[in-house]
Amino acid sequence: MEWTRKQRYLPYNQWPADYLEKIRQQTATSAYRPRYHTAPTSGLLNDPNGFSFFNGQWHLFYQSFPYGPVHGLKSWVHLVSDDLVTWKDLGPALLPDTPYDAQGVYSGSAHVIGDRLFLMYTGNVRDQSWTRHPYQNGAWMDQDNHITKLKQPLFGQPNHTTDHFRDPQLLEKAGHYYALLGAQNATDQQGKIALFTSDNLTDWQDCGYLNFSKQNLGYMIECPNLIWINQQPVLIFCPQGLDKKLLDYQNIYPNTYLIGQQCDLSQAEFKSNQSLALLDHGFDVYASQAFNAPDGKAYLVSWLGLPDIEYPTDQENWAHCLSLIKQLTLKNGRVYQQPVPAIKKLRQKQSLLRDKVAPAQEKTLVEKPGQQYELQLNLPADIQGSLQLFRDQSQKQGFKINFNTNQAAHLEVDRSQAGQQFALDYGTKRQVELTAHHPLFLDIFVDNSICEIFVNHGEFVFSQRIFPQLQAAKQITLEADQEIIYNGCWWQLAE
Ligand code: FRU
């Protein structure tokens, strides 16, 4: 169905009463809907928002358009968790119901202040001629999770940006509040990170742009996040229109990070001598949100989806999901990402894997792995081969994880034969180089149409959606050019 602007921006209370229920039922019966990841109850989910720890619980919100699998009138949906693994959906939290967010409650963040949580978000407002007026808004959430929006916006669009000015991350440093925002510079249409400061959350001062790169990073930066990992500042953001000479990426827009040596927000300075890096090497990570928990640990969650791409479940009136929560550390000048330790709670039945594979023979590692599982596998140095998930030998279908631990060491994922194809303009393979002659450790999480691969204890992550024929055989198989001895474990995971 073609969605008109009128349909996308129809106020929620003008939809027929039974419509939402109808598409909720359709969503609930989808075979591709994940079970231990967050997915929308209907319609579209995009950015994670307001990731925080407040009142003894983890809080997370997400961008939602509940009426269809398209980007329409957005709101925030609220989730809470005791362990960062199992989330309870508390339903809509911020609705587009004021003059300062009438065309959408866009992305933002949360920060604990006193005994309340302050939510800061972008209100998307369009006038009669559909010109955009972005407002940065605030709301308080009390200990009963009751939210009250501020009557007036915190601030509007400054003269030096275009109307692309959004996604505030609220931080507190040395007694001052700071907001980092994604922006487009008015004079040359370049992507920037804008910085505002306040001492009372009411009066805000424009500090210009964060000085973090001399490069032209494209035409817009979305979803900036500043976190500290072991005292080192790290910027995580989504540059749109980034020149591929600056960073080799294949997705329509990359989600990137930059490790700094020093950051002084009072001077709008973020000093780095490193180059921009990809946060995730798979097909489907964007708009990640990170924050430092009260104990200083850095956590990240990503939208498993990309803007401007159609996905197979659009046909079923829902789209996208959130990644697992990842804990971030720094090692060898890279951000390492690992699933949080509590993920082990999901493990149920297990099967130890320890055997040999004869040269050039495809061996079934797990005959009926199901669709919610974790697979850990140690592979030796100096081999080349392929691990396949959702493998259907008769149909020659499977999601391939091709590895080479020789001199030209690399890991490649290939979803070209993994069922329904989409986003073909951006290729069907993704690859990273690995250290030559080293063993390889894979920790893989599968949940219906999600596959997240943690390589070498978080050195690289490949996150993607795959839409195989779920009725067909879905074995896990392994094949290599020479005899290999492998060991690992498969766990069925709780739904
Ligand atoms: C990123 C984004 C944000 C915006 C939100 C709207 O995916 O475009 O910049 O706030 O989505 O849903």
* Residue 472, pLDDT score: 64
* Residue 51, pLDDT score: 99
Let me know whether 324 and 349 are in one domain.
no
CATH number of the domain that residue 464 is part of: 2.60.120.560
Let me know whether 372 and 309 are in one domain.
no
* Residue 473, pLDDT score: 60
Let me know whether 242 and 378 are in one domain.
no
Last residue of a domain, one of 339, 372, 397: 339
Cβ–ligand 1 distance for 380 under 6 Å, the answer: no
Let me know whether 254 and 349 are in one domain.
no
Of ligand 1's listed atoms, the one at least distance from the Cα of 167 is 10
CB-side neighbour CA atoms (13 Å) of 306: 24
Last residue of a domain, one of 308, 323, 339: 339
Let me know whether 271 and 296 are in one domain.
yes
Of ligand 1's listed atoms, the one at least distance from the Cα of 74 is 12
Residue with tokens 């493990």: 347
CATH number of the domain that residue 135 is part of: 2.115.10.20
Q: Whose CA is nearest to atom 9 of ligand 1?
A: 222
pLDDT < 50 stretches in the chain: none
Cβ–ligand 1 distance for 253 under 6 Å, the answer: no
Structural domain boundaries enclosing 405: 345-493
Quote the number of domains for the chain. Answer: 2
Active site residues: 47
Let me know whether 272 and 126 are in one domain.
yes
386-408 pLDDT, tens digit per residue, is: 999 999 988 889 999 999 999 99
Name residues whose C-beta falls within 8 Å of residue 430's C-beta, 6 or more positions apart in sequence: 250, 281, 282, 283, 412, 413, 462, 464
Tell which residue, 165, 138, 169, has the closest CA to residue 235: 169
11 CB burial (10 A radius; 0-12, 13-18, 19+) = exposed
The gap between the terminal CA atoms of the chain, to the nearest Å, is 32
Let me know whether 271 and 229 are in one domain.
yes
Whether the pTM exceeds 0.80: the reply is: yes
Cβ–ligand 1 distance for 46 under 6 Å, the answer: yes
Cβ–ligand 1 distance for 124 under 6 Å, the answer: no
| Beta-ladder partners of 454 | 443, 461
Let me know whether 377 and 407 are in one domain.
yes
Residue with tokens 């069925």: 492
Q: b/e for 23-48, b at 16 or more Cβ within 10 A?
A: bbeebeebebbbebbbbbbbbbbbbb
Assess contact for 389 and 403: CB atoms under 8 A: no
Could you give the CA distance from residue 213 to residue 191 in angstroms, rounded to a whole number?
Answer: 11
Let me know whether 316 and 250 are in one domain.
yes
